[in-house]
Structure 1
Amino acid sequence: MLHVLLAGLLITCLSRVHAHCVTYGDCDGLPCVNSTSALPMFGEQGRNIVSELCPHLKGGGKFCCDDHQVKVLKSSISKADSLLSGCKSAKENFRSLLCDMVCGPEQSDYLQVEKMEQHGGKTRATHLRYFLSTTYSDKVWKSTKTQSTLLCGHLFSSCSKDDLFGFLGNNRWTKLRTDYVIGDDPPARIVHASHEHMSCGSETCVC
Structure 2
Amino acid sequence: MSEEIVFYTNPMSRGRIVRWMLEEVGQPYRTEVLDYGTTMKAPAYLAINPMGKVPAIRHRGVTVTECAAICACLADAFPQAGLAPALDDPARGTYLRWMFFAAGPMEAAVTAKSLGWQAPPERQGMVGYGNFDQMVDALETAIEAGPFILGERFSAADVYVGSQIGWGLQFKTLPERPTFAAYAARIQARPAAVRAAELDNALVPNPA
User: How does the TM-score come out when normalised to structure 1?
Assistant: 0.31
Structure number with the higher strand fraction is 1
Structure number with the higher helix fraction is 2
